[in-house]
Amino acid sequence: MATRRRRRGLRPAATVVAVVAVSAVAVLGAVWLFQDALIYHPDRSRPPSAATVLEGGRDLVLTTDDGLELTAWFVAPAPGSPRRDLAVLVAPGNGGNRLGRADFAGLLAERGFAVLLLDYRGYGGNPGRPSESGLASDARAAQQALVDQGYLAERTLYFGESLGTGVVASLQAEIPPAGIVLRSPFTSLADAGAHQLPFLPVRALLRDGFPVLAHIAASDVPVTVVHGDSDSVVPSRQSAAVAAAAPRLVEHLVFEGADHNDAVMFGPPVADAVARLADQVSARS
């Protein structure tokens, strides 16, 4: 009798374990299948013509090496600004589109830079679906577009914002620029994901890696790192680790109390940091 009762008691427990296991597998499978939706948050609407938003702005079409045509904005240096003969390639984060970076592009133009505002595939009315390899192709197309405008890599700064730090970290390893600005960089996408989703085996699930720290540690390009010390998306310690790993760190700028998308992170202090890096690399050239 007691043995039969124990066996009957084991059956519900085994059922619970089985249900939990199946549920866990289902959750992990869903994360694997739909991880792109967790990583990339594009605004797919097409922005208006650059000339209607920014003085000196015009529309460009970038052609990627896998055959996509992407729209982007090119902004000339503002009239009366310092003569720099330098361009900034702006690789955005994982949300919005180039319209949301227009004010920042204007700040850079006021400081004498030509600016290319990149929208990745799937963003800003562009065709395609974002992925690590796809964004790398998009960044190469943007760099080539700047060459076509007269700005060779050695006269270009790469500016990466959040996810864009992974894009420019990879691009600089292939086509070294005059300098790089990393705004709110993570050490790798897996590290950032593990912080946000500590209950999931993120490192085993992610298809896209974006190994920022590894790329920067192996680079001899001058680097500026900018981040807030209250970042709720990318831990400040990860950005600091990227700065510590850079062999040619020019500046490590930390905004006290600033979160990932606070206004200061898109404002004049960040544009000033880009200008200081430009002054450093110009003095050495």
Domain for residue 94, yes or no?
yes
Domain for residue 202, yes or no?
yes
Domain for residue 171, yes or no?
yes
**DSSP notation for 137-148:** HHHHHHHHHHHH
- Contact call for residues 190 and 209 (beta carbons, < 8 A): yes
Beta strand spans in the chain (E): 41-42, 57-63, 69-75, 86-91, 95-96, 113-117, 156-161, 179-183, 223-228, 249-255
Report pLDDT digits (tens) over 30-62. 444 444 667 899 999 999 999 999 999 999 999
Inform me whether the pLDDT recorded for 227 exceeds 80: yes
Tally of structural domains, the chain = 1
- Please give the residue range of the domain that contains residue 170: 34-284
Report pLDDT digits (tens) over 64-121. 999 999 999 999 999 999 989 999 999 999 999 999 999 999 999 999 999 999 999 9
Domain for residue 100, yes or no?
yes
CA distance 106 to 74: 11
- Contact call for residues 143 and 250 (beta carbons, < 8 A): no
Domain for residue 22, yes or no?
no
Domain for residue 158, yes or no?
yes
**DSSP notation for 86-111:** EEEEEE--SEE-GGGGHHHHHHHHHT
CATH code for the domain in which residue 113 is found:
3.40.50.1820
